[in-house]
Structure 1
Amino acid sequence: MSTIAAGQQALMDDVYSLHRHFYDLTRKLYLLGRDRLIRNLAPPPGGSVVEVGCGTARNLIVAAKAWPDARFHGFDISAAMLETARKSVAKHGLSDRIILAQGDAGTFDATSLFGLEKVDRIFMSYTLSMIPPWQEAIERSAESLAPAGGLHIVDFGQYERLPGLVKRLHFKSLNDFHVTPRRELPAVLRRVAQAHGLGLEFTPLYRGYAWSAVLRR
């Protein structure tokens, strides 16, 4: 692991060492669009699904129940989050269907992490706003897609149709947790889609509170 990645791991472990125990309860009210993303995954029967930055595995658990014929995998840079994730997966009786690993989103390799040469569905739910190598994570995911594969993303938008005061106050609170909504996300997605010959669907949600995107091979 690089020095930068090790520093990010230490930061995330520090931030979430305590907060991970009630993370899902507190995020339920404002990480909007996660379940919409999961409903739209539609992996093929027996297909592989990878979540980048899986955190507590909340999304993987919901997705595994929604799509029982798929195989699920998730990785996170935080050892503390993965400890909670493994307990949650076991509690829901899904240890045989959800494989977890520690990895860096900017350099991940699905083959070395999970033995997957290519991946049918990759998703990122409020991950890009939390990781420094967010553009590299998109690139790595695009390169890892199988034929007919899809990369699904939901994250904070720029609140483009919400009052400016709401944006300033919420962005300030997000900054306290080292979360940075990515203003350049649409442009980066267009560039990656063009470079890899992918189709792009981009949808602002909830008056720009969240942005949803799908890159399809």
Structure 2
Amino acid sequence: MTVVDHGGLMDRVYRHQRHIYDTTRKYYLLGRDPMIAGLNPPPGASVLEIGCGTGRNLVKAARRYPRASFYGIDISREMLETAGRSISGAGLTDRVRLAFADAAGFDPQRVFGRQGFDRIFISYAVSMIPGWQAVMAQAFANLAPGGELHVVDFGDQSGLPRWFRGGLRTWLGWYHVTPRSDLFDVAARLAQAGGGLTSERRLYRDFAWLAVMGRPAAH
């Protein structure tokens, strides 16, 4: 069996693309801003992004929710370098912390000195993570009581023309991206197993899917 160095792969994929990533991706990474708008963390909340990439989402979320603290992890050191510059340029270094970490084995206490987070979000990363179901399970386990896990990614494009779906899947494959057709099912099972609730939104004729999993509040 071939073992893939996922971090090294992501560095190779984005070593040069990271410089134009946000400019080009805004046209098809749809659903990111609706996801950020739905986070709605309470004052003083902690918010983690898994697979923070260039830091684009962290900057937008930190500006939208000035009373929350933000954290970001990524397995690509190349992307983290760009994210650090973005956050510094936005004047948010006092509210956003970054760390190199593999989401599959992420320990919030070791990395950030925290037991958990009030909100965790994953934007267009589960389609690139080989063990994405385990990553979602780990993220759900890292929620504080009453916390929420928000995941947005490519949907099945069932409402779009067949020629479009085929062309998109081929193009995504060049970048090691695989839409997860069972995203909603996995989200529902996670929430149910944890005694919580889930919601789902199908955006732009199923181009993008947004799943939210809630952990029960402490009694």
Residue in structure 2 matched with residue 195 of structure 1 by the alignment: 193
Alignment size in residue pairs:
214
Deviation at 1:4, TM superposition (A): 5.1
Q: Does 1:80 align with 2:69?
A: no
Deviation at 1:54, TM superposition (A): 0.2
CA contact (8 A) 1:110 1:118 kept: yes
After TM superposition, list the pairs within 5 Å mapping 1:10-21 onto structure 2: 10-21=8-19
Residue in structure 2 matched with residue 90 of structure 1 by the alignment: 88
TM-score, normalised with respect to structure 1 = 0.96
SS at 2:92 equivalent: coil
Q: Does 1:152 align with 2:146?
A: no
TM-score, normalised with respect to structure 2 = 0.95
* Unaligned ranges ≥5, structure 2: none
CA contact (8 A) 2:117 2:147 kept: yes
SS at 1:131 equivalent: coil
Tell me the C-alpha RMSD between the 2 structures: 1.2
Deviation at 1:161, TM superposition (A): 1.0
Which amino acid is 1:192 matched to? L
SS at 1:40 equivalent: helix
* Unaligned ranges ≥5, structure 1: none
Corresponding residue to 1:137 among 135, 144, 149: 135
CA contact (8 A) 2:72 2:96 kept: yes
CA contact (8 A) 2:188 2:197 kept: no
Counterpart CA distance in 1 for 2:109 and 2:16 is 32
Residue in structure 1 matched with residue 183 of structure 2 by the alignment: 185
Which amino acid is 1:40 matched to? G
Counterpart CA distance in 1 for 2:43 and 2:188 is 29
CA contact (8 A) 2:8 2:76 kept: yes
SS at 1:207 equivalent: coil
Which amino acid is 1:183 matched to? S
Counterpart CA distance in 1 for 2:110 and 2:121 is 18
- Residues 39-90 of structure 1 show CA distances to partners (whole Å, capped at 9, x for unaligned) of 1111111110000000000000000000000000000000000011101111
